[in-house]
Amino acid sequence: MGWHQDLLIGFDLETTGTDPAEARIVTAAVVETKGGEVTGRREWLADPGVPVPAEAAAVHGITTERAALGRPAREVVEEVADTLVAHWSAGAPVVAYNASFDLSLLAAELRRHGLPPLAERLGGAAAGRTTGPVVDPYTMDRALDRYRRGKRTLEAVCEVYGVVLDGAHEAGADALAAVRVARALAERHPRIAEASLWSLHDDQVRWYADWATDFEQWLRRKGDADAAVDPHWPLR
């Protein structure tokens, strides 16, 4: 039985912005699944302590006033980190679409609130890894179907793989959709399904770095001489 048939932990954040170093968590979801079906779920509403920009609220629907009803950000950040680490410690992979955004933002929030980083919670990074195993359908799809035209948003990729996405930009819905896209990728690519989780994790590290190099070179050819794309995954 491949990893995609076992326990998978979907993870998603909705935030105040698109820069993982500066944005704050507004909502979070960790969804436990088996066979693509939900077996457990935790969701959080956080008061980010800053206004939610109108453009962010237009995406996920959480206004500043609604977020102010949430729990203190420090408590939410602590619980989300502990929940992910508990799953990793039990051997389950965390599945996140564009994982380098969500996990880097979580790491930045831990630093902001003076909380222990993910690697420390896991007992220190092993073999140079700061966290994991992580499964990122965004990175996988980009590497496995490199020349496909069109957008690679979660909504677009769900259409490609026949995954129903109910309530896009709602953290729980996006987390579950990410799991189902990951399963569809494994079913379409048997060598991915047969890989060990850590082997797949390391493949994604390499695939992301290759994409970052190619994208940086493309930006420079387009005239942005100072373009720099961080090649690190799953934490920028």
How confident is residue 130, by pLDDT bands cut at 50, 70 and 90?
confident
Single-letter code of the amino acid located at 222: K
Give all domains of the chain, ordered by start, each with its CATH number: 3-221 (3.30.420.10)
Distances from the Cα of 34 to the Cα of 39, 47, 158, 230, angstroms? 7, 31, 19, 33
Q: What is the mean pLDDT of the chain?
A: 95
Q: What is the pLDDT of residues 137-152, one digit of tens each?
A: 999 999 999 999 999 9
Q: What percent of the chain has pLDDT over 70?
A: 97
Q: Which ranges in 122-189 belong to alpha helices (H)? A: 137-144, 154-161, 171-188
Single-letter code of the amino acid located at 44: W
Q: Is 84 helix (H, G, I), strand (E, B) or coil?
A: helix
Residue entry with tokens 């109108």 = 54
At residue 107, does pLDDT exceed 80? yes
Q: What is the pLDDT of residues 17-49, one digit of tens each?
A: 999 999 999 999 999 999 999 999 999 999 999
End-to-end Cα separation, the chain, in angstroms: 32
Angle at 198 between CA 232 and CA 216, to 5 degrees: 20
pLDDT of residue 127: 52
Q: Which helix (H) or strand (E) holds 33?
A: strand 25-34
